[in-house]
Amino acid sequence: MMFRTVKADMLKKLVSMVAGVLTMVSIAGCSMTTEREALVTPEDVIKSPADDRDYRYITLDNGLKVLLISDPDTDKSAAAVDVNVGSYQDPDHRLGLAHFLEHMLFMGTEKYPDVDSYSEFIRANGGSSNAYTADVRTNYYFDINSDQLQPALDRLAQFFIAPKLDPNYVEREKNAVDSEYRLHAREDGWRLFMALNSTSNPDHPKSRFNIGSLDTLHDQDGQLWQSLKDFHDKYYVASNMGVVVYGKEPLERLEQWVNTSFSAVPSGAKPDLTIGKQPYTQDELKARINIVPLKDTRVLSLSFPVPSAQPFYHIKPLGYLARIIGYEGKGSLHSLLKERGLIDSLAAYSSDLPNEYSEFTVRMELTPEGLTQVDEITAIVFDYLDLIRREGLQPWLYEESKQIAELAFRYQEDRNPQQTASGLAARMHYLPPEHLLEANYLYDSYDPELISGYLARMTPENLRQVVIAQNLSTDKVEPYFETKYSIQALSDELVKRLKTPIARQLLTIPEPNPFITGNLELHESDQASEPSVILEEPGLRVWSLTDTSFNMPRGNVRVMITTPAASATPDDNVLIQIYKSLLSRSLNEYGYPAREAGLNYSITAGRRGLLISLAGYQDKQSVLLEDILKAIETFKPEKSAFEQEKAVLVRGLKNKKFHAPYRLGMDALNQATYPSYPEDEVLLSAAEKVTYEQLIKYAHAFYKRIHVEMLVYGNHSKQEALTLSSMVESVLLNDHNRRDRFDLPFHLLGDTNRVLNMDIEHDDSMLISYYQIPETDNRERARYALLGRLLANPFFNSLRTEQQLGYVVFAGPRPFEKHPGVIFVVQSPKLDPIGIEGRVEQFLNDQKAVLSGLTDQELEQYRQGLIGDLLKKDDNMDERNGRFWQGIASDELDFENRLKIADEIRKLKPADMQSALARLMENKGKLVIRSFGEPHKKAYRKETDRTECNTIDCLKDLPVSE
């Protein structure tokens, strides 16, 4: 019995609600099976009225479940295979085996034996591919230019039919898995996750290490290869897999391809995946867990294990509770705790191990004061749970959730093909075919008894109180990441308090949401295919395009306020971030219901100024924009709020040093190329000194010299766009503050060849080699974009797969402000950056010979792949709006310049690639950013042939753009 204290009526409710579910389920340790799914017709896959794609769910003769999606208009195709096995099925003596097998399947198959040939084919044809291993699933996916789906699909199918599992690469790829593990050694996400899992039931696979390392994947018994083969043979069978194929071809053609490629997947018996053990015993419940992070992080999580909610996906009892507890509007738990200065954020959510158990969590980021009042915050949460028991089970509130979800499903926008395929494949083990698309939007019936049953599990006896902060008392160390932690029983005093809740007048159940849309009428689209300027005057330019071609009653509004005051000094860089945070904070109680109803907004700050963004149902966007502008007019935050947001910024800057070296290196590249981007230490110093009085003064001075650029796109008429711009103009602009648009200056590398040393505390070394081309014409942009594509996969194959330098290895084109560029990145636990740079240069030398033999036919697939990416149709409104806005924000106002670049790509020949590489190797316009890992410090030697820098200030003499 998984949950010993589940009441009899709750158990009956759980079992009775499962009767119509077509998947295998396990409730409270008991499993129930149903007959295998029959073939269903396309109509049985329920889709959104806005969805014009065709679907078909089939089961092959070998038992493989397949969802076919036909989209004649797509220019990207995709596929995904989800295998119902993950790290929880690792043998005890081979921890990480599921993840290791995922790596090995990319190392060639009997039919396509070349290592990395699958990834090379995908990339050459304009696509991308990847995989991930989860607890009980492993997901493989790709996208590709739509005319190459069939050969890509056949290559993927061979992963599951006849992988090579070459013993030579078994030994090599172990190093890649180990490097991945060590990459995460200083990442708190992984460190905290593994420490928390260590406080699980020791007999449950949740408690084990799951990445894999050289130690856990040892081959001392000579059986590692056989373990891989046995694992593949046992779990990688058709009955244990789900496949999604997304293409432009008719369903009949897609079905034919799937049958041809996947019918040879071994049928086999579906393995028993039942765990049937409690995730936590009594020793791990009613417990306080302390975990010490590397970063300055303060978190309180209150978690409750409950019976699996998977059988009730169509009712969502935990979703109902999460909506109330996670609410941020007036009278919410979030508002009370934030107003008292105890938390920075709050979220409520559930996770699920299907048919085993669910876990409901309330997670709060704490202020320093909140950390001293962990038990008081816990008590307030329990006070709110009591309020929900007394007043929170309301039919109207469930119906409101249903109304919001139905609108979201009715006007569901397409995701890109790869996301669609991967996401749907992950659901196929647990959902009936007809609900694959709408499961997340179903609120079939209000069931207060079911909700109460879950709420009844949220008790002190079933609580795991997790506190994450520095300097906590601990007595244990997690062995793989060396994270300090402890687990002990909750104090009797706290348990007594939690059992005697207090009624609080400031806490209420959410009020009816006033932002739920009522106007769903569509305007007629403009004849134009791109936005045009409808108003231009000093200090203001307004772009507009009415576009309802996606049949969505949605709009997007962008308001960009630019001024040199955003980043003229380090203080300005800091003040604008705090100003933005305080503005957003002042709107949160009012604006949270808007987000909940599908009317999203954000205020972001950058080195050019502020950006106000609205997206979603357009009918109430004017109301929301008016209130954002009112918040700007009446801005006067409490000093306590300023101190809280300042502390958040300071902590974030301090914690950056724990990012992976290559991420810090990429950030340094941005700092080096933008003069207005100070180093982190400079920003931190400014942030620590900034005062409330400075902030108030800055908020008023910010608007003294500004320019406003607007884009109104989607289901807004031209007149509505003018009305919105008039609102903005009346609040932000006057006769004295209008100026030209402020665009950031940036550094150019010219013909320099420099190296920037970074001092990063990490065992891995890091090297970034970045090349920048001075010309900005379309031919050069095309030439280096194609060269970057050509070099990317061979670089990965050489330095990672063959040389095993590390897990993080990538290369490709990196254009910068219209300037072409190419970048090479390696983070290595094995080699110092001087050695890495030598390997990069050797790779480029080797590629000279490769490119000298490149045929036009071989180049053609890369040409077509890149052209396909450039000319890809927009999948949804947000994507199209983003493309337009990128052009406006970057001042590249020829929105179809990509067509001209595509024309230049068509003209490129192998000789152009050879000359482009030769120019790259002249090492002019080159910047190397590097850090020496702790074991590699002694490898450092002073540069003699090029300028060496130890701070970004050393690069300030680079030429600056006009």
Catalytic residue numbers?
Answer: 102
Q: Yes or no: say if 278 and 308 are a contact pair by the CB < 8 Å rule.
A: no
SS3 (DSSP) at 341: coil
DSSP bridge partners of 130:
141
Q: What 3-state class would DSSP assign to 505?
A: coil
Measured between alpha carbons, how far is residue 908 from residues 117, 213, 666, 918 in Å?
A: 24, 45, 30, 16
If phi > 0 it is left, if psi is from -120 to 50 it is alpha, else beta; for residue 699 that is: alpha
* CA pair distance 712, 523, nearest whole angstrom: 14
Name, in order, each residue with C-beta under 8 angstroms of 438's C-beta and a sequence gap of 6 or more.
46, 47, 48, 409
Angle of CA points 538, 540, 546, to nearest 5°: 140
C-alpha torsion sign, points 242, 247, 250, 253: negative
Q: 120-123 long-range CB contacts below 8 Å, 24 or more apart?
A: 120/793, 120/794, 120/797, 121/148, 121/151, 121/152, 121/155, 122/152, 123/789, 123/792, 123/793, 123/865
Provide the token pair at 422. 């991967």
Strand-pair category, 753-758 with 926-931: parallel
Helical axes 317-325 vs 374-387, angle rounded to 10°: 120
Burial of 679 (0-12, 13-18, 19+ CB in 10 A): middle
Alpha carbon distances (Å) from 429 to 264, 319, 432, 538, 774: 20, 21, 9, 59, 53
CA–CA dist 886, 710 (Å, integer): 12
What is the sign, positive or negative, of the torsion defined by CA atoms of 492, 494, 496, 498? negative
Rounded distance between C-alpha atoms, residue 266 and residue 237, angstroms: 5
d(CA 347, CA 364): 7
Nearest by Cα to 280 from 419, 130, 461, 402: 461
The Cα–Cα gap between 703 and 688 comes to: 24
d(CA 133, CA 135): 7
Q: What are phi and psi of 59, to 5 degrees?
A: -125, 120
Kindly give, in sequence order, each residue whose CB lies less than 8 Å from that of residue 744, ignoring residues fewer than 6 positions away. 567, 607, 608, 674, 676
- As a residue count, the chain comes to 962
Residue 536 pairs with which residues in a beta bridge? 541
What does the alpha-carbon distance between residue 721 and residue 710 come to, in Å, rounded to a whole number? 9
Token duo for residue 938: 């002694």
Which residues, listed in sequence order, are joined to residue 302 by a DSSP beta bridge? Answer: 362, 465
Dist. CA 623–CA 557, nearest whole Å? 13
Query: Which of 346, 371, 354, 436 is closest to 46 using CA atoms?
Result: 436
8 A C-beta contact, residue 806 and residue 800? yes
CA distance 64 to 931: 48
User: Token pair of 119, please?
Assistant: 């990834």
Q: Is the dihedral of CA 596, 599, 600, 602 positive or negative?
A: negative
Cα–Cα distance for residue pair 381/153, rounded to 1 Å: 50
**DSSP string for residues in 685-719:** HHHHH--HHHHHHHHHHGGGSBEEEEEEEES--HH
